[in-house]
Amino acid sequence: MVITEVRIKLCEENNERLLAFCSVTFDQSFVVRDLKIIDGTKGTFVAMPSRKLTDRCHQCGCKNHLRARFCNACGGRMDENRALRVGEVRAKLHADIAHPIHAHSREHVQAAVVRAYHEEKERSKAANYICRYDDYDSDYDEVDAAVSYGPPAGFKAHAGHAEAKPPHAASAVGVAVEEFGAGVG
């Protein structure tokens, strides 16, 4: 895959290690947002988008992040040592949402992002500097209204698949509304 665009959103100078957020577009068709550019002990690196890992409260079953001291739902005290540790290594509190599978791919993405970061940093020194990071939403507004969310042009399903059905949730909501409407009166 070819990296066709990198957009950078610089952070304010008062952030200690977080330098910027960025989004990377591959082949002008797939965007990964919310990568972080971080000033690490061994130099600048790119952290992939991630989510907080959770577990469930032993009292009510509600999900809570691993650093939570109390349950968000019932207020019960959580075991503070429940985050898994391997030896002296810090507990894993986040999991990547999207990430390169091979070291070569990671290096390719990181090199492109760090290069774009330095270019954006230089552009930001200009008096008329405007950050382009948040332009994705305006790009979407310019798209023709006749956009289809179906299969791509030329797509053919192989034999054995029936025609697509409506989502289960939508059909269940429709039934519930009909039943509710029938009882009112």
Q: What pLDDT shows up at residue 87?
A: 64
Q: What is the pLDDT of residues 96-148, one digit of tens each?
A: 888 888 999 999 999 999 999 999 999 999 988 888 877 655 544 444 433 43
The confidence score (pLDDT) of residue 173 equals: 41
Query: Which domain CATH number covers 133?
Result: 3.30.1120.40
Is pLDDT larger for residue 65 or for residue 117?
117
Hey, CA dihedral for 20, 23, 27, 28, is it positive or negative? Answer: negative
Contacts of 72 (CB under 8 A, 6+ apart): 62, 63, 64
Identify the domain containing residue 142 by its residue range.
1-49+97-147
Quote the pLDDT of residue 118.
Answer: 93
Same domain, 137 and 123: yes
